[in-house]
Copies of this chain bind each other. A is one copy, B any other.
């Protein structure tokens, strides 16, 4: 549906694959090569420069081939069913193998079913689990050793190529935003919008996945390497971010009746195929993804006048769309 006529608007942030608006006229004079490295902002190209067609992110995605996309594995996917609908989380076993296995074990013993979203703190996180900490656990573990970071050896890593305030290097690994310290040979997931982690108490090894949270504000990067991230919300984030904020300390709901019940929390592979939501994600190790990042770095939609010349790691939402061709899996 188009924006209402006559309303002043600002451009879209996220690509909505299912509802892409008509492609806009191109800002021809602003070439992708206007992107500069270093901290200076790029100036608009003068009108007398050679005209070069630069793609918008919508055009990059429209030109992507089937091979640029990968199906999201239902074995590494969680469906959290809320009264408002399904929240889909892609897990990151390559970064938090034991936490991911434990969250799947918790899902398989129905640990979260009947528990609640208990905390919504504005511009920070939404958290769910057992506010009393009393629900019995059977095959799964209550706590695990922290998985804050891992070796960067053997890691698929696509550098962003822009400076970062917090880490020596940032980029993407298999669809996740990642920071890297080449000197230390260590890598860790980044607290971008929608990332999911395991709450803990003061002891670093006191988490395990029985309390989970998702980021719903400006990336709280100070949490990086302080808490185990284990996945990201790939669909349904708006069901979490639009919840009423809690009025207690840290955004906890003060009254039990304010809590939002979790109807079920399951590994997607355990859900009958007809009830699944097959999704695919743009591969972050492709030329198409590099072009997509460039299109985010310098917007070529007509509306934009001053290209940013840079892009923050958390300003590159990784495109996800319905995966229709399930026979190729």
Contact = CB atoms under 8 A, between A and B. Distances in A.
A133 B213 CA distance: 40
A187 interface: no
A131 B3 CA distance: 9
A299 interface: yes
A249 B12 contact: yes
Q: How many copies does the complex hold?
A: 2
A43 to B, nearest CB: 9
Interface in A273-300: 296, 299
B121 A14 contact: yes
Q: Which secondary structure characterizes the binding site on chain A?
A: loop
A10 B218 contact: no
21 contacts: A3-B248, A3-B250, A4-B118, A5-B133, A6-B132, A7-B133, A8-B207, A10-B200, A11-B223, A12-B249, A13-B217, A14-B121, A14-B122, A14-B123, A41-B181, A122-B237, A123-B317, A166-B308, A192-B218, A202-B303, A241-B241
Interface of A: 1-14, 16, 19, 21, 39-41, 118-125, 127, 129-134, 148, 162-168, 181, 183, 192-194, 197-202, 204, 206-207, 210-211, 213, 217-227, 237-238, 241-245, 248-250, 252, 254, 296, 299, 302-306, 308-312, 314-315, 317
